[in-house]
């Protein structure tokens, strides 16, 4: 029996990125509307460049609707020269792990690699769930996890992938 190309390519990759360093300088600004600090802006640009340099550009980007996550996404897109879709989802803002899994499971099969820009502690918990490894994700860090699934619809809490890499902005050489 001949296997289809989709069955042969039975790996999907998820890149989990914590937003860049946020600013705490503005009084009266709610958590959802906290902007990036200057350092966070630099981090997002560095990580966009790193994703491009390491050939880790996603097919789709999912982002929390928080201002710091949206700003991180915008800078990653510009720095990496990514030209695909960016989907902003309010469920990725501190509503638990289930929305992350549901959003990934709803991706089209032509998307081999997805980048999620979100928040700790949820992203660290998601790395532990999907890769079985406890990692620390400082601001703008990216965990790259290969998942043994032929289709995103096969993703659930039981799927165990492999942590391929952990990238941090301090590692970037400009």
Size (the chain), residues: 174
Task: Give the separation between CA 90 and CA 77, rounded to whole angstroms.
Answer: 19
What is the predicted pLDDT for the residue at 3?
40
Domain 5-171, what architecture? 3-Layer(aba) Sandwich (3.40)
Q: Which residues in the chain show pLDDT less than 70? A: 1-9, 24-26, 28-33, 171-174
Query: Do the beta carbons of residue 35 and residue 67 sit within 8 Å?
Result: yes
Q: What is the pLDDT of residues 142-168, one digit of tens each?
A: 999 999 999 999 999 999 999 999 999
DSSP structure class, residue 24: -
Contact status, residue 51 vs residue 15, Cβ threshold 8 Å: yes
Write the CB contacts of 121 (distance below 8 Å, at least 6 apart in sequence).
Answer: none
Both structure tokens of 83 = 């030209």
Cβ neighbours around 22 below 10 Å, total: 22
The pLDDT tens digits for 67-82 are 999 999 999 999 999 9
5 φ/ψ angles, rounded to the nearest 5 degrees? -55, -35
* Domain extents in the chain: 5-171
């Amino acid at each position: 029996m001949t296997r289809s190309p989709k069955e042969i390519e039975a790996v999907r990759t998820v890149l989990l990125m914590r937003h860049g360093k946020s600013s705490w300088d503005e009084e009266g600004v709610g958590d959802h509307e906290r902007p990036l600090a200057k350092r966070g802006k630099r981090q997002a640009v560095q990580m966009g460049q790193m994703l491009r340099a390491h050939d880790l550009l996603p097919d789709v980007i999912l982002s929390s609707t928080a201002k710091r996550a949206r700003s991180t996404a915008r800078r990653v897109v510009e720095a990496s020269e990514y030209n695909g879709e960016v989907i902003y989802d309010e469920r990725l803002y501190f509503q638990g792990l289930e929305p992350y899994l549901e959003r990934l499971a709803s991706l089209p099969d032509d998307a081999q690699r997805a980048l999620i820009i979100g928040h700790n502690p949820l992203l660290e918990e998601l790395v532990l769930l999907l890769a079985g490894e406890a990692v620390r994700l400082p601001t703008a860090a990216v965990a790259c996890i290969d998942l043994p699934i032929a289709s995103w619809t096969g993703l659930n809490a039981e799927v165990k992938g492999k942590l391929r890499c952990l990238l941090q902005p301090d590692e970037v050489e400009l």
